[in-house]
Structure 1
């Protein structure tokens, strides 16, 4: 079954252009250097699935013409990945049942805390998002089915914490990772598409950098790889020119096709 993956956002937590910055990338006329906060959209089998809803989700949804969403998966509870949650409200109203949300336990607790008015049992605000929060199994490789496709949890290291990456069919999405633990490596074999963090050229304590991400791609050997969660250190054209042909920088609005089941 073929799926289309759209990069809604490919930027770091501060976005690009970064506020107050006049560097060459932040002032670049190349639209590929304009990076909103990271998220992807999956479309397959007449269904739409989101991974993360950052603070730019409203603008991203308008840009891509998103009129309905059937499920949302979260990688972790940082602001650049969850703060668009409230913009799911009008989309959830269109569904017959509650919009299913999937997250590991720590991320679920963060969402419940930040958006307490959505989940309270007493005096719940009537126009809160109509959602149902599902806590996913933390076991590496554990999976759940969505619309005839299996989504498997791939734990990754994000600085001092473990967060959730996802594998779905021939693709995997590993945003905000500084490393891939040994138990996750077998879950990333025989990939068509690998999407992973590459914040900048210099090492960072909680994100992978370009040289390290290239080495991970060469180790895992997917047929294609795309870098995301990029800061204003990386000019799109210049960085792409340094990469092997099967590795590209993603950019906001980029669409790729792959087999999801």
Structure 2
């Protein structure tokens, strides 16, 4: 699960990104003291020589909690809070992100945000739970998995992607079955078993002032939108087994 705010390129972060990132990391170090550095590489094709030259791209800075369940990512155009397994409530997530946004705003005075998003990813990979999918989720998100098949027929891959727009925000939902060692998103590590995924991304791409309280209010609305789709997708037995 993650929440994110993006903004247009800003002069301060184009020229002093490392210094600003260092200060943000220091301010957040009581909760996120670990700081692995992520450095990306891009490749540029020289049109005259035909040679491909590697180039460093701006680093994404990461700060991680001691138990490795919470991560903050900061880049020249976004900040993200991610949870990997210790999630307790939407309120906890929102309070943590409120602090992150406050620190970013204090040190950058960013004038505008251009995308706000909240993403839930649910994946069932345990063989016993996978076998019970029909009892856990509604047929609408089982897709081809809800079609009766002979015992000698195996569903290997089936995936659906749908984008919904409303006056409450946008919602990109992806769901389906993945074979072993496959993933629908490069940011998600593949697993060795067959899996079922429900990936919900609620977002708003309208430009607004970078005011932490206003952005958090918008995130709350998007969270409600995403959670509503989640509850529509799963049965009470899913909630009883996994929470929600």
Is TM > 0.5 for Structure 1 vs Structure 2?
no
State the TM-score, normalizing by the size of structure 2.
0.24
- Whose Rg is larger? 2
Q: When the two structures are superposed, what TM-score results if normalisation uses the length of structure 1? A: 0.23
